[in-house]
Each structure stands twice: as structure tokens, then as C-alpha cells.
């Protein structure tokens, strides 16, 4: 996964001191849910093949 650092800099400019904690929370949420998200995408892909 590639992260666009220019977006992170925009958050830092906007949120100042709170930005790093906010960004860390977003990334942690993604990583905590990534396995479930990938499983859901895999299931949808399999279902789409069956329906197609």
C-alpha cells in the first residue's frame, strides 16, 4: 500500500499538533479491519464470478 504523503501534510497543516494522532488512528483502524475487508472483497469477487 502506498500512502500519498502530500495528503498527510495537508492534515498536519490543518490540524497542527493533533494531526499525527489523528493519522495514526486512521491507519490503525485500517490495519485492524484490513483482514475482514480483504475477505469481504474476496467473497464478493467469488460471488460475482458465480453470477456472471
Distances (CA, A) of 21 to 37, 38, 45: 23, 25, 35
pLDDT of amino acid 43: 87
Residue pLDDT tens, the chain, 52 long: 677 888 888 888 888 889 889 889 988 988 898 899 889 988 888 877 666 5
pTM of the predicted model as reported, rounded to 2 decimal places: 0.54
Do 2 and 14 form a contact (C-beta atoms < 8 A)? no
Residue for grid cell 469477487: 45
How many CA atoms does the CB half-sphere of 42 hold within 13 Å? 6
pLDDT of amino acid 28: 92
Query: Any idea what DSSP says for residue 16?
Result: G
Amino acid at each position: 500500500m502506498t500512502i500519498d504523503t502530500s495528503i498527510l501534510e495537508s492534515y498536519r497543516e490543518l490540524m497542527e499538533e493533533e494531526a499525527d494522532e489523528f493519522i495514526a488512528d486512521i491507519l490503525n483502524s485500517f490495519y485492524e479491519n484490513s483482514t475482514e475487508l480483504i475477505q469481504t472483497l474476496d467473497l464478493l469477487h467469488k460471488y460475482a464470478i458465480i453470477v456472471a
